[in-house]
Structures are given as structure tokens and as C-alpha cells.
């Protein structure tokens, strides 16, 4: 890259490479956001280098294998054979890239505050290898101001300047793992840039990859979009979780009410209750905004109330299970054996991040219950900071003898791969937190909705 090349000429040359699909794209973090993005970009004809600190992931991808159920091994193998996708843990190779996209985790600390350590460490790892003429995009969910106040100072440590030497943008990920209706390329991308040139570059890149781009006025506006989307879901799920409690006391089936309400063609959008929130976004993102809002002296009462309601749902499932054991099975909780069906946070994927099933297992065991689990996609509970004691537990088989040996089955995840008719026949008591039995026309006295 010519060091004397003016920013306008630099931007034009980068856009030309984006338009020709000759630009090399680096995707850092090959998880549930990064890997689908890397595959999508590579399918569009771009050469893609995927980066991850997990050597196992790197080795599997380079061997043409997939570690995600919704991304087929054939797809990875095909991209490897064409030479459009490679993986590495060597961050010096970001120097080869024309665009660097960061897709790293943004969890919470034990104090429920934003944990940007992955973002900071990744930015510090790539900074020594940056060169003039690169677009850098953060896709990780975070609070407004992160890109400008956290990333930009790190990226400028060696004298490179944002908007002159490199170009900084933010584009929130919108992945929905396991949703075949909306692939990465079919979902519009919101884009905000640190200046007009950064915005123009980011739009030029994503225009070649997704159905359309939605430019906004700033980095902060783009960061706020993602929080707004997930807080919207959190608040509405909290509402139906509370309605479930109210209607249950009245003898009304909230699921029936929602199905009838959604026939209204305007002014209503269906949300569904459940055992608690899971996944990396909805249980976490609202706390990023509430934390940042305190800096401005603003109290986010509505958002925090929704969080309290959703966080309390696993306890409600456990209370309902204990009541059902006593009332239906005539069984005390202490010494009872319960099978938890599904530990993934949503159906048809193997992702267990923030799964409410883990909290339900822990609460049941505190009541003296012996708990096992079955999940057709999760053979072993992975290590996690929040549920370290559960790591290594293995899924039991779903046979008649095994199911019948438990006093009750609690359905936490409604995977399609499960035969619920047989489950209902085999289990002496079923606690259904997802309404899957009713959806399949299964109505028995020993099926309890929770």
C-alpha cells in the first residue's frame, strides 16, 4: 500500500477490491457468529482467513470438518477445496487482510457488568500487525461508545489514524442459529462508521455479502440498534412470562390465549413464555445498556424489571415441578429422580450458553432431587464459569426403561428430534415448559404445563 496515497484514493482502491471480490477478509472468532459469517463471505467468492484461539476449531476447519450442527461438513470441505477458507491462530496474518471483522464474545462479569476483555485482548493482538488501508469492523454486541472509546485508542497506538490510515466501523451481528429461514446473507446489516469513509467502506463490503445494508449516522447508533433489538425481545418475553403466571392462577392457558391473539393482523406480535432466557444475547445485552445508562444518571427501571422476571423463571419451573410431584405423583422432592429433557438454550442447536436448564438442574438438586439429562445434540455439558459443577455430565439415552425409571421428565428444550408421543407414554409425569406436547396434540392428565 502506497503510504502517500490520499484517503480518498485509498478508499476507492479498497472498494474496487470489495466489488471485485478480490479483497482478503479476516474473521476473528469462529463461534456461532463468526463461522457462519466466514462461510457466507467465502461463498461469495472472497478469500477468507478465520482466526480463533481454540486450536481444536482451527484444526477441524482446516481438515474440512464442522463443529456446528447447522453448518454441514460438506460446506466446510467445499470451501477448503476451493481455497477460499482457511483457519489459523496466528494473528500476524491479519496483515494479509483488507477487512478485519471481530466476532468475539461480550459476556458479563460475576457482578453482572459488561466484560469487554475478549474485545480488548483481540484488538491488542491485532494492533501490532495492522497496516495502512484496512477496514476494521466490530460485530460483537456491546454498549454505545465501545468502538470509539475502547477500540479506536488501541488501534491508534502505533500512530495509524482512524479515517486516514485505517477505517473503523460497527455492524451488529444478527445471527439466529438453527433458523433455516434466515441465513446470514438473507439478513440486512446495520452499519455505522467512524466517519463517512468508514461507513462507505463497510457498506461496500457488506453490500457484496448480504441482501442489503442499512447505514446509520454513527458508531454509537449502530451499537444501540443491537441492544434495542434484544431488549425488545427481553421485555416482551418477560411480559408473557408474567401473563403466564397470572392466567395460570385464573385457570387460563396462556398458550391458547397467544395463539388466538396472534390472529389479529395488526398491533400484535406473538412472544412465548418459557423456562427462562438463554443464549448469548437476550439474557446479557440488556445489562450492557443498564450499566452504560448509569454513567448518564439514567435509571432503566423497565429494562431491569424485565430482567428480574425472566431470571426468576427457572425457580418457577422448579416450584411447579415440586408441586406436581406432590399432587400428581404423591412423591416428595427429596430423593426423587428427574430427567431434564434438553440443555441447549433453544431447539435444534447444540448451543448451551446461558441455558436456563442448568439453573433448573442446580435448583432441583438443592431440593434433594437426583437429576439426569438427555439432549440429542449435547452429549456432554461443556465447562462454563457460571455452572462449573455441571461440566462433564453426559446425556443419558432416551429409552423406555430409562425414562420410566425417573419420577418425572421436565421438558426444557423442544428439540424436533425427540419422539414426544413415546416420551409421554413412558414418563409417569411430564412438566412441559415449551408447550410442545400440546402442539403435537398430546393431552394427558400427567402432562403439566409450567
Q: Kindly state the cell numbers that stand for 92.
A: 500476524
Q: Quick check: is 222 in a domain?
A: no
Q: Quick check: is 54 in a domain?
A: yes
Q: Are residues 259 and 210 in the same domain?
A: no
CA angle 115, 350, 309 (to 5 degrees): 55
Annotated catalytic residue: which of 203, 281, 412, 437?
Answer: 281
Higher pLDDT pick, 278 / 407? 407
CATH code, 293: 3.40.50.720
Contact of 409 with 338, CB cutoff 8 Å? yes
On the question of pLDDT at 28 being above 80, the answer is: yes
- Percent of the chain whose predicted confidence (pLDDT) is above 90: 89
Contact of 50 with 61, CB cutoff 8 Å? yes
Which residues partner with 134 through β-bridges? 166
Q: Quick check: is 229 in a domain?
A: no
Q: Kindly state the cell numbers that stand for 428.
A: 409417569
Q: Kindly state the cell numbers that stand for 189.
A: 446489516
pLDDT band at 8 (very low <50, low <70, confident <90, very high): confident
Q: Are residues 253 and 382 in the same domain?
A: yes
Q: Quick check: is 142 in a domain?
A: yes
Domain end residue (candidates: 184, 217, 250): 217
Length of the chain, in residues: 450
Q: What domain range is 342 assigned to?
A: 234-449
Q: Quick check: is 1 in a domain?
A: no
Q: Are residues 75 and 173 in the same domain?
A: yes
Q: Residue 329: what are its φ and ψ, rounded to 5°?
A: -95, -10
For residues 68 and 55, what is the distance between their CA atoms, to the nearest angstrom?
16
Q: Are residues 169 and 116 in the same domain?
A: yes
Q: Quick check: is 129 in a domain?
A: yes
CA-to-CA dists, residue 295 to 105, 190, 261, 288, 292, angstroms: 23, 26, 40, 12, 5
Domain end residue (candidates: 183, 217, 251): 217
Maximum Cα–Cα distance for the chain, whole Å?
A: 82
Q: Are residues 209 and 253 in the same domain?
A: no
Contact of 335 with 322, CB cutoff 8 Å? no
Catalytic status, residue 281: yes
- Give the H or E element holding residue 322: helix 313-327
For residues 281 and 353, what is the distance between their CA atoms, to the nearest angstrom?
10
Arithmetic mean of pLDDT over the chain: 95
For residues 61 and 379, what is the distance between their CA atoms, to the nearest angstrom?
21
Q: Are residues 247 and 375 in the same domain?
A: yes
For residues 380 and 356, what is the distance between their CA atoms, to the nearest angstrom?
16
For residues 57 and 65, what is the distance between their CA atoms, to the nearest angstrom?
9
The three-state DSSP-derived secondary structure of 163-193 is: CCCEEEEECCCCCCCCCCCCCHHHCCEEEEE
Full strand arrangement of the beta sheet holding 447-449: 370-374, 337-341, 408-411, 430-432, 447-449
Predicted confidence (pLDDT) per residue in 186-236, tens digit: 999 999 999 999 999 999 999 999 999 999 999 999 999 999 999 999 999
Range in 81-85, 245-249, 284-288, 318-322 with the lowest mean pLDDT: 284-288
Helix (H, G, I), strand (E, B) or coil at 104: coil
CA angle 56, 62, 64 (to 5 degrees): 105
- Angle, to 10 degrees, between the axis of helix 219-249 and the axis of helix 254-261? 130
CA-to-CA dists, residue 404 to 97, 146, 334, 397, 400, angstroms: 57, 52, 18, 12, 6
Predicted confidence (pLDDT) per residue in 83-141, tens digit: 999 999 999 999 999 999 999 999 988 888 999 999 999 999 999 999 999 999 999 99
If one counts the domains in the chain, the total is 2
Number of C-beta neighbours around residue 282 at 10 A: 21
Range in 93-107, 175-189, 403-417 with the lowest mean pLDDT: 175-189
For residues 279 and 335, what is the distance between their CA atoms, to the nearest angstrom?
31
Report the candidate in 126, 104, 129, 137 with the shortest Cα–Cα distance to residue 18: 137
Q: Specify the residue for cell string 456461532.
A: 32
Q: Are residues 443 and 295 in the same domain?
A: yes
For residues 102 and 34, what is the distance between their CA atoms, to the nearest angstrom?
8
Q: Quick check: is 223 in a domain?
A: no
Range in 177-186, 200-209, 411-420 with the lowest mean pLDDT: 177-186
Q: Are residues 306 and 360 in the same domain?
A: yes
Q: Are residues 211 and 265 in the same domain?
A: no
Q: Are residues 184 and 247 in the same domain?
A: no
Which residues partner with 409 through β-bridges? 339, 430
- Give the H or E element holding residue 207: helix 196-207
Predicted confidence (pLDDT) per residue in 341-392, tens digit: 999 999 999 999 999 999 999 999 999 999 999 999 999 999 988 899 999 9
Residue 446, class by beta-carbon neighbours within 10 Å (0-12 exposed, 13-18 middle, 19+ buried)?
Answer: middle
- Give the H or E element holding residue 224: helix 219-249
Range in 7-16, 85-94, 266-275 with the lowest mean pLDDT: 7-16
The mean pLDDT value for 428-450 works out to 96
On the question of pLDDT at 1 being above 70, the answer is: no
Q: Are residues 163 and 261 in the same domain?
A: no
Q: Kindly state the cell numbers that stand for 246.
A: 397470572
Q: Are residues 378 and 421 in the same domain?
A: yes
Domain end residue (candidates: 172, 191, 217): 217
What pLDDT, on a 0 to 100 scale, did the predictor assign at position 4? Answer: 59
Q: Quick check: is 212 in a domain?
A: yes
Amino acid at each position: 500500500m502506497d503510504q502517500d496515497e490520499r484517503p480518498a484514493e485509498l478508499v476507492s482502491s479498497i472498494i474496487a477490491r470489495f466489488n471485485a471480490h478480490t479483497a482478503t477478509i479476516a474473521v476473528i472468532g469462529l463461534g456461532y457468529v463468526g463461522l457462519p459469517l466466514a462461510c457466507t463471505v467465502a461463498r461469495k467468492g472472497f478469500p477468507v482467513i478465520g482466526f480463533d484461539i481454540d486450536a481444536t476449531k482451527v484444526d477441524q476447519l482446516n481438515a474440512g470438518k464442522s463443529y456446528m450442527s447447522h453448518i454441514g461438513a460438506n460446506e466446510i470441505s467445499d470451501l477448503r477445496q476451493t481455497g477460499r477458507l482457511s483457519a489459523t491462530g496466528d494473528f500476524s496474518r491479519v496483515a494479509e487482510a483488507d477487512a478485519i471483522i471481530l466476532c468475539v464474545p461480550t459476556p458479563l462479569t460475576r457482578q453482572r457488568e459488561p466484560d469487554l476483555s475478549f474485545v480488548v485482548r483481540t484488538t491488542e493482538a491485532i494492533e501490532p500487525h495492522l497496516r495502512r488501508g484496512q477496514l476494521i469492523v466490530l460485530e460483537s454486541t456491546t454498549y454505545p461508545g465501545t468502538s470509539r472509546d475502547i477500540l479506536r485508542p488501541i488501534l491508534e497506538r502505533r500512530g495509524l489514524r482512524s479515517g486516514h490510515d485505517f477505517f473503523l466501523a460497527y455492524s451488529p451481528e444478527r445471527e439466529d442459529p438453527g433458523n433455516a429461514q434466515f441465513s446470514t446473507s438473507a439478513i440486512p446489516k446495520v452499519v455505522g462508521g467512524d466517519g463517512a469513509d468508514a461507513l462507505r467502506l463497510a457498506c461496500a463490503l457488506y453490500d457484496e455479502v448480504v441482501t442489503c445494508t442499512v447505514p446509520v449516522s454513527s458508531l454509537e447508533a449502530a451499537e444501540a440498534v443491537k441492544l434495542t433489538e434484544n431488549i425488545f425481545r427481553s421485555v416482551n418475553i418477560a411480559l408473557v412470562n408474567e401473563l403466564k403466571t397470572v392466567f395460570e392462577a385464573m385457570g387460563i392457558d396462556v398458550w391458547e390465549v397467544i395463539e388466538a391473539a396472534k390472529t389479529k393482523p395488526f398491533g400484535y406480535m406473538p412472544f412465548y413464555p418459557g423456562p427462562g432466557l438463554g443464549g448469548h444475547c437476550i439474557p446479557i445485552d440488556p445489562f450492557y445498556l443498564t450499566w452504560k445508562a448509569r454513567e448518564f444518571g439514567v435509571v432503566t427501571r423497565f429494562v431491569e424489571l424485565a430482567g428480574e422476571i425472566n431470571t426468576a423463571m427457572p425457580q418457577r419451573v422448579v416450584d411447579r415441578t415440586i408441586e406436581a410431584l406432590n399432587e400428581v405423583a404423591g412423591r416428595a422432592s427429596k430423593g426423587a429422580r428427574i430427567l431434564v429433557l434438553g440443555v441447549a438454550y433453544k431447539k435444534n442447536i447444540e448451543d448451551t450458553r446461558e441455558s436456563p436448564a442448568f439453573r433448573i438442574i442446580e435448583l432441583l438438586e438443592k431440593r434433594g432431587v437426583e437429576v439426569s439429562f438427555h439432549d440429542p445434540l449435547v452429549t456432554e455439558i461443556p465447562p462454563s464459569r457460571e455452572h462449573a459443577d455441571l461440566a462433564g455430565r453426559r446425556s443419558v439415552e432416551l429409552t423406555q426403561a430409562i425414562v420410566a425409571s425417573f419420577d418425572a421428565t421436565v421438558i426444557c428444550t423442544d428439540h424436533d428430534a425427540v419422539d414426544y408421543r413415546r416420551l409421554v407414554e413412558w414418563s409417569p409425569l411430564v412438566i412441559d415448559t415449551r408447550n410442545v406436547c400440546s402442539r403435537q396434540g398430546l393431552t394427558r392428565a400427567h402432562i403439566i404445563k409450567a
